[in-house]
Homo-oligomer: A and B are copies of this chain.
Amino acid sequence: MPNQQPGLDLVFRALGDPTRLAIVGRLARGPAPVSELAAPLRMSLPSAMQHIAILEQAGLVTSRKVGRVRTCSIDLAAMSEAERWIGERRREWEGRLDRLGEYLKTIDGGERDGADD
């Protein structure tokens, strides 16, 4: 049963770290080179790079090296996939609640028994 969208857990795992969350937050405002991303992080460059690598593996970020500068950008596809998955679960749950409400209205004048699921 541990199977939903393949790789989706990678996306969430990549976002599951304050440093990486901050990097994505920064990149949403526009592309940036590695060193600019690393600057506000209290952390060595190699460590920052590791975080960026994880974001890339998850498909959240892409990067291209021009001279000796590697410029990173957000990749919307993975973001949207994650957003959609959550939204689908949410709607599933809300729909369930709605149907429950309808059912309760159906037996309105009848019993007064608490029913769930």
Contacts and interface: CB of A to CB of B under 8 A. Distances in A.
B2 A18 contact: yes
A43 to B, nearest CB: 9
A93 B28 contact: yes
A30 to B, nearest CB: 5
Number of copies: 2
Contact of A92 (B3, B22, B28, B96): B28
Contacts of A55: none
Interface string A30-52: 11000000001100000000000
Interface of A: 1-4, 8-19, 21-22, 24-31, 40-41, 74, 76, 79-80, 82-83, 86-90, 92-94, 96, 116-117
